[in-house]
Each structure stands twice: as structure tokens, then as C-alpha cells.
Structure 1
Amino acid sequence: MEANSITQTRTEKAGGSSTRSAYATIKRKIMDNEFAPGMQMPEQQLADYLGLSRTPVREALIRLAQEGLIEVIPRHGMRVLPVSVADMKEIYEVLVSLEPMATELLAKRRPDEKEMSRLIEACAEMEAALEADDLQTWAKADEKFHFELVQLCGNRRLASMVMGVWEQSHRARMITLRMRPKPYESTREHRAVVEAILAGDAAQARELYRQHRSKAANAMISIIEQMGMSQL
């Protein structure tokens, strides 16, 4: 391979790495509402903020626009898009259908405490976070619980579908986190689901999870509507 070809290949790899870095960083800040709905930022300012050139940033923005997270504004960078109440209703209709199924599949496998250690650990982390009045840590533990549960269910396609949709609800959960009552009841419900799974009671585990997810969905959508927000 000629020297100029090797240099070009290395440059392309470096550019791809920069694009992935820009994409991951911007997306995480949008998901955690550090980049709030409606926020606008010029492309050059965003590139300076990330310490990157404009090309990988532009490529990352195109990808994020395709995912429906931002709007690319010519000559003006990006605008973070809102999530509508209608979107949230659709997202939770999917989750209420699929997540209980994942819970049932997991319970039927009769996992032991060692296999369930990450779920048990997440429950303990939620309880400790509530005692410390640390809702951000509680939210991370809650996310860990849901992620681990679907990963353990044994159906990779179901897990992939759940996680793809679940991620879309993350921004709304973070926005309403401090508008909801302290999640003591939700934390107890997580623990009850774990106990039903360990007992091998698939029907009970599924029903407990369905009730938990339905209750969470109704509470979140109700808060958004009561606040008079048609969009987040």
C-alpha cells in the first residue's frame, strides 16, 4: 500500500472516531436534558465545545436528526426537538406490551440469585438513593434495573426492541423526575418483581411488572398534561 493511501486510511478512521465521539456526547446531553428541548447551538460553537472540527460534528448532527432528536438548521447548527405527549403515549403502549413479556420469560427460566445479582443490586441502589434523597442516582439505578431485566430475558430481538423504545422515553422521565412524588412505591414494586422472578412465578411477575409500568406511564403523562405542556 502506498504511503498516501495509508495516510488517507488513518485519516478516515480518525474522522470516524471523532464522529462517533461527537454523536455519543451530544446524544447523552440531549437524553439527560443538559441540552434541553428547544435549545439551539451554532455548529461552530458546538464544535468548539466538543474540541472537534466541524466535519465530524456535522456528520453527528445528521445522524441525530435522522433519529428525531434534533433539527439541523442550515447555517445555524442544531435545535433540540421536543417530545410530544402523543409520542410518550405511543412509547409507553409499546413498553407496557413488551416489558411484561420479558419479565415472564425471565421468570420461566428460574434464574438464581447469582444470575439476578445486577437486578438485586439495582434495587438496593434505588433504596439507598432514596434514603440519601438523591433522585439522579435513583434514576440511574432504575435505568440499570430495566436494562438488565430485558437483557436477561433470553430473547435478543425483544430486548433490542424494548431498549430502542425505552431510550426514547429517557428525556421525559428526567424532566418529570422532580415533578413526581418520591418513588418509594416504585422502588418497592421493583423489589416485588424480583421476588416473583426468583420464586419462578411467571404470571405474577408479568402482572406486577405490567401494573408497575402502566402506573408509571399514567403518572408521567398526567403530569405533562396538568402542567399544560403539549410538548416536552
Structure 2
Amino acid sequence: MKDHDSKTLSNTQRAARDLRRMILSGELPAGTDHLESELAETLGMSRTPIREAALMLESRGLLEMRPRKGVRILPVSTEDMREIYDILTELESLAAQRAAEAGYSEVELALLATSISQMDQAIATEDLEAWAEADELFHKELVRLGGNKRIEAIVAMMSDQVRRARATTLFIRPLPVQSNEDHRAVFKAICEGQPEVARDRHRKHRLQAKRMLCEILEKHRLNSL
């Protein structure tokens, strides 16, 4: 959900946007409970758009609606992350393969190249938040280049949970130098039209990311926050 002028959004869209932002930023912490009336007062609107927005965010795994008890902000679940990364690994690896088969020009791959440069700059200055933004851009652009709208839609549906998990673990994970090398290898394979290399290298990258993320969540008990 992109930021738009509030005048162009319905109350439900505005509520969904604001609640999502509050959850992802930690303003509504994982494990907390909130009445619809409380959230309505905070956002300055009636309970109806809050309820409709909560249903939208429930489908994205950010919260749980409970009859007569309001909403509960869900923790980052290790099991959810395993399942999500299993899906992302296969779909993004297929996208990498298709991108390598497409014969894109240097201009068409410019945004993917830019995201890698931004990640390198972020690592050099140890700016992990900038790295996370560039990493997200890389994966989003990779999926777009795969040319399958249904894959884009499925990946987008899980993006909020991935973003929350990354934000939770970002400052306690090792500096992601290897991740940058993996991205560069996938990009090289796409440029050189090597679909099997692109697919296999990206798959290896995602499997490693899944292992590291789940280990951190379990070690620090972040899934029980």
C-alpha cells in the first residue's frame, strides 16, 4: 500500500495504510491487544473502516481479529517464516530463471544494477537500514523481471511479514556481505543469459537467508515477543 494523498483514499484504505505503518514500525508492538474503539480514536475515524482494514491486514499475517476482543498484533513466527521462505525461494528462483531467458538489455536491467550498487554502498558505511531498502528493491525488481504477474501478486502478499522479520533481526545478524555477493552472481547470470545458473544461485541464496533468519528468531526468542 503506497502512500497517497489522504484525499484520494477511502477511510478503509487510509486505516489500512496507517495501521500497517504502525505495525511495521513497532508503534503497535507484536503481542499487544487493541480494541477497535481504541484504534478508531487514535486514527480519528469510526470503527467500521478500522474493522475493514483489520480484515485486510489479517489476510497479510500482521494481526488476528478476535470477536469482542479487538485485534492482536501477531508476533513474527518462525514457522510462518519457514513456510514463507519456502514459497519465496521457489517463486523468486523461477523469476530469476525467466529473467535470464528474457534477453534484457543493459538499460532494462539498470534498476537491478542500481540496487546492487546501493547495497554495496550501504555495506561500506554499515548502514543496515539503507541496505535493507536496497535489498528489498533487488528482490522486487527481480520478480518483476520474471514477467509473471501471479508470482508478483503472491510475493507481494507475503512482503509485509518478510519486512517485519527483517526489521526484527536486522541489527543482530552478521553484516550481509555474502548476500551482496549472491545478488551480484544472480545479476551476472541474468546479464549473460544463463537461466540455470541464475535459478540455482538465487535458490541457494534464499535457502541460506531462511536458515539464518530462523536461527536468529529461535536463538533470541523473537518469535515469542
Give the counterpart of 1:97 among 76, 90, 93.
90
C-alpha contact (below 8 Å) 2:62/2:161 kept by paired residues? no
CA–CA separation in structure 2 for the residues paired with 1:144 and 1:124: 11
Aligned to 2:44: 51
CA–CA separation in structure 1 for the residues paired with 2:176 and 2:28: 25
CA–CA separation in structure 2 for the residues paired with 1:65 and 1:100: 27
Aligned to 2:17: 24
Per the normalisation by structure 2, the TM-score is 0.87
Deviation of 1:166 after TM superposition, in Å, equals 3.9
Q: 1:95 to 1:67 in 2, by over 3 A?
A: closer
| Partner SS state of residue 82, structure 1 | coil
Please tell me whether residue 135 in structure 1 is matched to residue 128 in structure 2.
Answer: yes
CA–CA separation in structure 2 for the residues paired with 1:229 and 1:177: 12
Deviation of 1:58 after TM superposition, in Å, equals 2.6
Give the counterpart of 1:147 among 140, 152, 155.
140
Deviation of 1:26 after TM superposition, in Å, equals 0.9
Q: Which runs of 5 or more structure 2 residues have no equivalent in the other structure?
A: 1-6
Per the normalisation by structure 1, the TM-score is 0.84
Give the counterpart of 1:177 among 148, 152, 170.
170
Matches within 5 A, 1:72-87: 72-73=65-66, 77-87=70-80
Alignment length (residue pairs): 219
Displaced runs of 4+ in structure 1, greater than 4 A?
73-76
Q: Which amino acid aligns with 1:176?
A: T
Deviation of 1:49 after TM superposition, in Å, equals 2.6
C-alpha contact (below 8 Å) 1:95/1:166 kept by paired residues? no
Please tell me whether residue 204 in structure 1 is matched to residue 180 in structure 2.
Answer: no
Moved more, 53-62 or 65-74: 65-74
Q: Tell me the C-alpha RMSD between the 2 structures.
A: 2.3
Aligned to 1:71: 64
Q: Which runs of 5 or more structure 1 residues have no equivalent in the other structure?
A: 1-13
Q: Which amino acid aligns with 1:90?
A: E
Deviation of 1:129 after TM superposition, in Å, equals 1.8
C-alpha contact (below 8 Å) 1:107/1:196 kept by paired residues? yes
Please tell me whether residue 216 in structure 1 is matched to residue 209 in structure 2.
Answer: yes
Q: Which amino acid aligns with 1:43?
A: E
Give the counterpart of 1:118 among 111, 119, 123.
111
Superposed CA deviations along residues 69-90 of structure 1, whole A, max 9, x for unmatched, are 2233456542201232111111
Q: 1:217 to 1:25 in 2, by over 3 A?
A: same
Moved more, 41-50 or 87-96: 41-50
Deviation of 1:229 after TM superposition, in Å, equals 4.7
